[in-house]
């Protein structure tokens, strides 16, 4: 008998436990937070006026919209196009079904951001329009600037190609000038410091280009002793043929030139040594020409010292040229 009563007690305890679990299940379900489509969201003022509550889930919103559509016979069996929701107090404001479904304010608590999806409103009763900004076209000024830059870039490229082709074809060399001969025919100097000379000088203009003519202009040369001008030599413009040269012969006599104290001392030292130095400097504008359309201009400059033996007037170690070494 005791065994039977013990078994009954066990069965009754199990029944009471199952009853408590069944009663606790709805409470747990009620306390569980709703997520996904069942989670309520704040709605826009237009949607709030339609559903009557400030927050509603997507599922409930769809149910109320379809209830309104069926109650007012807004959609037939074969008509699947969304229609304007009618029957609202404000006839000037209509809501399409797609717009109503997107009329929520979605809060992203994970990113602390808020995205507002505007409801569609109609400018006329019974109609709803979606407004979107049209993309602006490119400013015509930008197109003009782009075209000008493209033209300039093409012109620069073409010019570079032409110059490079000319360089490969003609292989240009810079014309230059040099002193080929110099002789001091006479040197007069007295104790009062008066200097007078007579000199022969030959300057050669060289053009080593085999396919281009070189022009020389503004050729001017200065002869000085200890910074004092002794003679100025000038020549009219002239041309030098391809792979050729031109000689400029100067034979001149200076007028008496007074020397200062430093110049007199320099002349005394030079005469004692037997070698008299003169400084020769000058320049000539040269132009390397190809046909009548293409030419290059540059200066040929010369600066050197001419050392003459006082006894015979010959030069010592003559090396005077504008050519780069």
- If you average pLDDT over residues 272-292, what whole number do you get? 88
Contact between 181 and 201 under an 8 Å Cβ cutoff? The reply is yes
CB 200 within 8 A of CB 182: yes
pLDDT confidence tier of residue 126, bands split at 50, 70 and 90: very low
**pLDDT value at position 21?**
52
Using CA of residue 164, residue 165, residue 168, residue 171, what is the dihedral sign? negative
Model confidence at 309, pLDDT cuts 50, 70, 90, reads very high
Average pLDDT over residues 195-216: 91
pLDDT band for 225, please (50, 70, 90 cuts): very high
pLDDT at residue 290 is higher than 70 = no
Structural domains of the chain ordered from first start:
34-131 (no CATH), 176-309 (2.60.40)
**Using 50, 70 and 90 to split pLDDT, how confident is the model at 81?**
low
The Cα 54–Cα 280 span in angstroms is 103
Average pLDDT over residues 203-224: 91
Please say if the pLDDT value at position 165 is more than 90.
Answer: no
Q: Is the pLDDT of residue 277 over 80?
A: yes
* Long-range CB contacts (within 8 A, 24+) of 57-61: 58/101, 58/104, 61/100, 61/101, 61/104
Per-residue tokens: 123: 């400018």
What is residue 173's predicted lDDT score, i.e. its pLDDT? 81
Nearest one of 73, 75, 46, 74 to 61, comparing CA atoms: 46
pLDDT at 136 over 80: no
Predicted local confidence at residue 275, as pLDDT: 95
Q: Of residues 132 and 256, which shows the higher confidence score? A: 256
- Region 105-110: mean pLDDT is 39
Instruction: Indicate the DSSP class of residue 315.
Output: B
Per-residue pLDDT for 4 more than 70? no
Maximum average pLDDT range among 2-6, 124-128, 244-248: 244-248
3-state secondary structure 52-96: CCCEECHHHHHHHHHHHHHHCCCCCCCCCCCCCCCCCCCCCCCCC
């Amino acid at each position: 008998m005791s065994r039977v009563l013990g078994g009954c007690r066990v069965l009754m305890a199990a029944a009471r436990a199952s009853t408590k679990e069944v009663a606790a299940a709805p409470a747990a379900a009620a306390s569980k937070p709703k997520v996904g489509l069942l989670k309520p969201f704040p709605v826009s003022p237009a949607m709030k006026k339609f559903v009557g509550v400030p927050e509603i889930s997507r599922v409930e919103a769809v149910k109320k919209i379809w209830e309104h559509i069926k109650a007012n016979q807004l959609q037939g069996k074969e008509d699947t196009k969304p229609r304007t929701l009618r029957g609202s107090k404000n006839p000037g404001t209509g809501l399409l079904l797609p717009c109503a479904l997107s009329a929520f304010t979605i809060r992203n608590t994970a990113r602390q951001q808020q995205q507002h999806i505007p409801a569609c409103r109609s400018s006329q009763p019974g109609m709803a329009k979606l407004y979107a900004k049209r993309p602006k076209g490119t400013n015509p000024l930008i197109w003009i600037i782009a075209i000008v830059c493209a033209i300039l870039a093409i012109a620069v490229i073409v010019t570079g190609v032409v110059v490079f082709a000319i360089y490969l074809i003609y292989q240009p060399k810079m014309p230059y000038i040099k002193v080929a001969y110099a002789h001091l025919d006479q040197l007069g100097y007295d104790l009062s410091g008066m200097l007078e000379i007579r000199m022969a000088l030959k300057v050669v203009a060289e053009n080593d280009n085999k396919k281009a003519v070189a022009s020389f202009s503004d050729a001017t040369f200065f002869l000085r002793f200890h910074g004092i001008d002794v003679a100025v030599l000038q020549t009219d413009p002239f041309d030098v043929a391809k792979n050729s040269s031109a000689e400029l012969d100067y034979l001149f006599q200076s007028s008496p030139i007074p020397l200062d104290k430093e110049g007199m001392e320099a002349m005394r030292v030079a005469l004692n040594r037997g070698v008299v130095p003169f400084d020769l400097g000058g320049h000539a504008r040269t132009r390397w020409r190809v046909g009548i359309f293409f030419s290059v201009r540059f200066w040929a400059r010369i600066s050197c010292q001419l050392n003459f033996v006082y006894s015979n007037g010959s030069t010592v170690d003559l090396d005077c040229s504008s050519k780069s070494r």
